[in-house]
Amino acid sequence: MDNKQELKHCIRVAMGQEPADIVFKNGQIVSTFTEEVIAADMAVSCGKVVAIAHVGPAKATVDLKGSYVCPAFIDAHTHIESSLVSPEGFAEAVVPHGTGATISDPHEIVNVLGLSGLEYMVKAAAGLPLDIFFSIPSCVPATHMETSGGSLKAKDIATAYKTNPKTPALSEMMNYPGVYFGDDEVLSKICTAHELGLGIDGHSPMLGGKELNAYMNARIMSDHECMTADEAREKLRRGMYILMREGSAARNLKDLLPILNDHTVHRICIATDDSDPHELDGRGHLDYVWRELIRLGVDPIRAVRILSLNPAQLYRLADMGGLGIGYRANFLISDRLDKPLVKAVYHNGELVAENGNLLKAIPRKEAKETMQSVHLPRNFSDKLQKYPQKGKVKAIGIIEGQIVTESFIGSAEDVAKGDLAYLAVVERYNKNGNVGLGFIKGLGLKSGALASTVAHDHHNLLLAGKNVRDMEIAGKEAEKMGGGFVVVKDGVVKAALPLPVGGLMSLKNTKEVASGIAEVGIAAKELGVTMRAPFMVLSFMALSVIPHLKLTDMGVVDVDRFTIVPLEA
């Protein structure tokens, strides 16, 4: 409660001595506490649920006519930057789909801009019809094998906490080898988080056995990287929450569903991790996952619990995740549970979206401090000329639908005649001028080049191409527009999508950005690219904490050995 007077008022409303702000009549309340449906009226005052069933007078009433009332959904782990829109644009996209809160790791923009990136995100998220709880990035940069724009040391964690006092956790600890090898800086970050009373999110793909035991001694509380039920089951048994991931880049829901039963349901949440604007604008957000869970045989009420109460309990959001007395009046209305469709969304007791539309436009906050973050090295062109032209080379092998990759051995000559393409990561922060050179297989490129400043997690400039000249032109165009996606063929820019906010996000809405993605996607297809979302796929080719082979500005990374390796095989 905000104050004693408010508490007194809510008590009097519950006793029928004062009118509620609004009463919802004839609703069917989905209880995430008991996994049942309760036919009852519900009273709301001061943005909270103050009475259920025993409801008195009200200033206003809404007749739900038998519709179901469900607590608003909570995304247990997401990166707003991956939607390619600002927090305001993200809220516009997800609120009409019933999302009331997110636990968002801002490590993308913090890798670009440091703590000023976190400050921007907190400012942009203020006053939205969506509660965005920003965790504090634990790995900026993600590893010692890349150059980032920002850097957060253990000493910076407390400063970040002051900037962001509502934070629930230290973000995903991706440097899991740093934990079990006892890296002093990594352990200092963990101990600082413990001192601040924060939870610690995990990130430990395929980790098991004694290394998992060692990792969890740091009180790592969750994992969203499981790809098999066996992996998830081991982590559950050790004491982790499992965040079943169903996003745009990685979709593990179906494979992990066997772990869900009466004994484990309280330890399972849903994370989207990364959602692209096209899918947000098309299939929806967590409401899509709700329907997918039901389609896969999960009870609709249990699915609501997984999507709301469980993440609230994991992150200690004491007044969220359920329609209980004293809980925030964040909920959605659906006519059906078997084939649910979000009809209306309330946030703090106020109707904010109806029939898939936000009721009030969201103005954008000032973002000038985030612009102009792309700076190419002066000798960029010369460094691109140094690819080996013959002999065996290591190449990243794309696995469709996954962010893990294969470690592939190919011939440099195959760039001219086969499915091998050049790959480059160019440091863009005016720090050292590094250009990491590599090769990639499975992209489908037959000509031209692609450029992207979305390259997890350091977000240096990523280039892929069949010839160096087009790669150079694509890179320079990306610098000129302050970051984004570029497609070049025969020296001509065929399509481009500017993302000037840190080279990661647009201030436009998801529909406009999705249209821009479609344009660059069509242009990429004309170069021979076969995959559905090439820029999303490319963005993970530089992520040096996901097995097996990746590329950063420092060179080819063997993630399994956690070291830089020679390009030549």
Domain ranges of the chain: 4-66, 71-358, 371-565
pLDDT tens digits, 54-71: 999 999 999 999 999 999
pLDDT of 248 reads: 79
pLDDT reported for residue 240: 98
Omega cis (within 30) before 141:
yes
DSSP 3-state assignment of 40? strand
Q: How far apart are the first and last CA of the chain?
A: 63
Which pLDDT score, from 0 to 100, does residue 2 have?
Answer: 65
Q: Given the structure tokens 């080049």, which residue do they identify?
A: 449
| pLDDT value of position 536 | 86
* Cβ atoms within 10 Å of 528's Cβ, excluding its own: 15
The strand pair at 22-31 and 61-63 is best described as parallel
* Closest to 460 measured CA to CA, from 551, 385, 383: 551
Q: Give the rounded distance of the alpha carbon of 233 from its chain centre.
A: 23
Residues contacting 526, CB < 8 A, separation 6+: 489, 494
Nearest to 331 by CA among 129, 109, 80: 129
Task: Take residue 63 and report the two structure tokens written for it.
Answer: 């007749």
User: Does the model's pTM come out above 0.75?
Assistant: yes
> What integer pLDDT is reported at residue 267 of this predicted model?
98
Q: Are 114 and 136 in contact (CB under 8 A)?
A: no
456 preceded by a cis bond (ω within 30 of 0): no
Question: pLDDT tens, position by position, for the chain (569 residues)?
Answer: 569 999 999 999 999 999 999 999 999 999 999 999 999 999 999 999 999 999 999 999 999 999 999 999 999 999 999 999 999 999 999 999 999 999 999 999 999 999 999 999 999 999 999 999 999 999 999 889 999 999 999 999 999 999 999 999 999 999 898 999 999 999 999 999 999 999 999 999 999 999 999 999 999 999 999 999 999 999 999 999 999 999 877 889 999 999 999 999 999 999 999 898 989 988 999 999 999 999 999 999 999 999 999 999 999 999 999 999 999 999 999 999 999 999 999 999 999 999 999 999 999 999 999 999 999 999 999 999 999 999 999 999 998 777 889 999 999 999 988 899 999 999 999 999 999 999 999 999 999 999 999 999 999 999 999 999 999 999 999 999 999 999 999 999 999 999 999 999 999 999 999 999 999 999 999 999 988 889 988 999 999 988 999 999 999 999 999 899 999 99
Structural domain 71-358, CATH architecture: Alpha-Beta Barrel (3.20)
DSSP state, residue 501 = B
Structure tokens at 456: 């997890």
DSSP letter assigned to residue 364: P
Q: Please name the residue ranges forming H helices in 428-553.
A: 468-480, 510-526, 534-539
pLDDT at 546 (0 to 100): 87
**pLDDT tens sequence across 72-107:** 999 999 999 999 999 999 999 999 999 999 999 999
Comparing CA positions, the residue from 177, 248, 234, 135 lying closest to residue 534 is 248
- Residue 37: the pLDDT is 98
Buried b / exposed e along 267-276 (16+ C-beta atoms within 10 A): bbbbbbbbbb
What values do phi and psi take at 287, rounded to 5? -65, -35
H-helix or E-strand spanning residue 344: strand 342-347
Per-residue confidence (pLDDT) for residue 545, from 0 to 100: 86
Question: If we measure between CA atoms, which residue out of 497, 363, 382, 469 comes closest to residue 433?
Answer: 382
pLDDT for position 73: 98
Residue located via tokens 């165009």? 477
Contact 455, 550 (CB under 8 A): no
- The phi-psi region of residue 517 (left if phi > 0; otherwise alpha if psi is between -120 and 50; otherwise beta) is alpha
Superfamily (CATH) of domain 4-66: Urease, subunit C, domain 1 (2.30.40.10)
Alpha-carbon gap, residue 246 to 275, rounded angstroms: 9
Work out whether the CA dihedral 119, 125, 126, 130 comes out positive or negative: negative
Q: Nearest 5 degrees, angle CA 67-CA 313-CA 331?
A: 20
